[in-house]
Amino acid sequence: MLLSGLIFPLHAMAAGVRWIGYLLPLTYFIQLSRGVMIRGASLSGLAVPLLALAGLGLAVFALSVVRFRRDLAPTGREPEPEPPADAAAVPTPAGGSR
């Protein structure tokens, strides 16, 4: 929240910290909110933050699809059949008790 420009303006931050702020989606949401609520900006005036939010959303969605396919998707192999319950039991000696 501190690096998004809500409390401290981005132009007052050091260049390295400013780039971290530009990677946060909250930065662009704040720009959109201020444009709509305070300035009454038009849609064309809010195009840059809208495109930035859409790009960040698309990047996160693409990464989640890749991770889903890698970690959670079925592998295509048939699962090994479970052994019957009787086959897993240890046989008792011929005398009947242990």
pTM: 0.61
pLDDT number for residue 89? 59
Q: Which residue has the tokens 């420009």?
A: 5
**Interval 63-78: pLDDT, tens:** 999 998 888 866 666 6
DSSP state of 12: G
Contact between 34 and 9 (Cβ < 8 Å): no
Residue type, 73: A
